[in-house]
Structure 1
Amino acid sequence: MSLTSFYSSLCAQLSGLLTDERDWLANTANASALLFLELRDINWAGFYFLYGDELRLGPFQGKPACTRIAVGSGVCGTALASGESQLVEDVHQFPGHIACDAVSASEVVIPLYAGGRCLGVLDIDSPSLARFDAEDLAGLEAFAQVLLDHSDTPGA
């Protein structure tokens, strides 16, 4: 199966899972579980939500994680500050990387926008270098959009 087909199927699974449920917290919890179950070679999948000038840990699957990340710090904070997804082949080469799990080697982070404002980020880590590529990024951005489309987001 091609990556494009895989992510199309993953988005369809998420859409089905979220049918008749609009709760943001419940939906992000199920989305992180689905990602952790279906993506190969990852060790963490979850969400950080924006509160003031920091990101706070939301629903996730994997080892315990950093609870708070300042906007502009690490890969997650950089994605939030720049408003752009981050695809990092080697987190150890990323300036200011925050090592919540020393085993993580690559990462993809997608800012989540609704109603013209950023709510937080979707963060996925892998123990393998260069685990994610442009196709993964596009597929995960589409996944995030399905989540947003099926959820009543806070403050939106």
Structure 2
Amino acid sequence: MSGQSLEKLVTDEIEALHAFISGWFRGELVRSASVYRQGFSDRLASAFVNIQPSGQVLSRADLLDPIENAHGANSDFRISISSVTLRHVSEDQSLIQATYVEHQTGARNTTPPDNDRISTVLFQRDLATDKLVWLHLHETAVRSD
């Protein structure tokens, strides 16, 4: 796979997960177990770790129920993604580290509700299927002052 194709694979995965989260929170997606699994829970490794901008460390288990229960909780919530950059790729391309900027508007659990965060993600790639699985995500708030 070429570097450009790998970058597209990573960008598409980052955008797809965030499109799911924002659509789920807005209630625009059908609330069903299969939609939730395909859009969110199946994308995260069993040992997935998310470090929030506050420094709070969350496991996959910590996230699953709260995200599932947030269906339709915020009709104003939007996420867009920019500046996806591959940072490190293992020799066999099975581990990929990337950074990106996440732009949130209308967030209810973040101050301010319109905010940006720089995120670093580590993916494991299934070389047979090109499926990316989220292993680790570290989000850092971008100060707006």
TM-score by length of 2: 0.29
Larger relative contact order (CA 8 Å, sep ≥ 6): 1
TM-score by length of 1: 0.28
Q: Which has the higher strand share?
A: 2
